[in-house]
A = this chain, B = another copy of it.
Amino acid sequence: MAVSEKEALCPYRLVLEHVTSRWGVLVLIELLDRPYRFSELRRTISAYGGGRGVSEKMLTQTLQTLERDGLVHRDAKPVIPPRVDYSLTGLGREAAEQVRALSQWTRDRMDDVEKARQTYDEARAAS
């Protein structure tokens, strides 16, 4: 997420980093489908593949940041046990769509990238 001295960065860079942050990307993409509850979101994202999932802490942090930026809407129902639904705001939806597009592109071009890597690695294996 990057929160430290990045307060010193130009504001828009900051938002960009929130949006493109490790978990920010996944949260936005998931919420594009439908609203999610906290744990539900956690499970879904964790199952996403690769490394282990999000810690509660990181998911909380990510959601709070995105909420503060006005991209995510938090709806806490005053019931017991607690129930909180997260969804995208209009602003958030715009961002999420861009992110999804980039993510999609990456998947589409994966073959080219892998090929490029192979070429690169072979070239320097010949040292």
Contact = CB atoms under 8 A, between A and B. Distances in A.
Given A69-B116, A116-B70, A120-B70, A106 B50 contact: no
Interface residues of A, number: 47
A44 interface: no
A51 to B, nearest CB: 5
A106 B16 contact: yes
Interface string A79-103: 0000000000001001100110111
A123 to B, nearest CB: 10
A109 B101 CA distance: 18
Number of copies: 2
A113 B98 contact: no
A10 interface: yes
Contact of A117 (B16, B25, B70): B70
A6 interface: yes
Given A51-B5, A101-B98, A109-B94, A114 B11 contact: yes
A52 to B, nearest CB: 9
B113 A10 contact: no
